[in-house]
Homo-oligomer: A and B are copies of this chain.
Amino acid sequence: MQTPPPDLPAHAPGKADLPKKAIYRLSIYHRCLEKLAVNGVATVSSSTLARAAGVNASQIRKDIAYLGQYGTRGLGYPVGTLMGSIRDTLGRERFQPVVLIGAGNLGSALLRYQGFEKEGFQVVAAFDADPESAARRRLSVPVHHESQLEEFIVREKVKLAILCVPAGFAQAVANRLVEAGVQAILNFSPVVLEVPADVTVNNVDLALELEHIGYFVR
């Protein structure tokens, strides 16, 4: 989900006009392609990939066309080449360092989550108001006191942060992150963060997601 604020952070670095939602889909395509590659598949058609990704085949073709001309008519797309292109478009620099703030229940679960590394992100440090108690959770990532946040971010040139602090602290911490140079925040607090237009916030609001599906049960 993108941030609500009307004015988006323009579009990213170099790449031009890629529809916002296409960014998500490209990640999904990449995953599907990985699976195909593992199975030794060398070429895939838009309709096959569409079935795997749960979208329409035209959409696949449109999305891939944003990256350039990769397909061969009558045949399909080369799995490996296409994966590379998606990675180039999405995963700016490989192994982006990420910090996590708030090593409570959810924060610790995320620190243990293997999925991030697999996608090229490394959570290099966590910060908490009570690092001692967080340390008791036996995490593989060092947990520092939150007061050291700014110093670390500046020194390590961290641009991405995962925010898992209680709602009441979220805005204050976000301000500090931005001030220190963070450019994008994955926010798990159920709070609408206010940040400058050139900072991206992506809200993952668990209660809201549950409420949303609740609407669809009769």
A: which residues have CB within 8 A of B?
Answer: 1, 3-6, 9, 12-13, 23-25, 27-28, 31-32, 52-56, 89-92, 96, 98, 105-106, 108-110, 112-113, 115-116, 118-121, 159-160, 162, 183-186, 190, 192, 194, 200, 202, 204, 206-218
Contacts and interface: CB of A to CB of B under 8 A. Distances in A.
B119 A207 contact: yes
Given A106-B109, A204-B209, A214 B91 contact: yes
**Count of identical protomers in the assembly:** 2
A182 to B, nearest CB: 9
A84 to B, nearest CB: 16
A23 B215 CA distance: 8
B90 A217 contact: no
A92 B214 contact: yes
B113 A6 contact: no
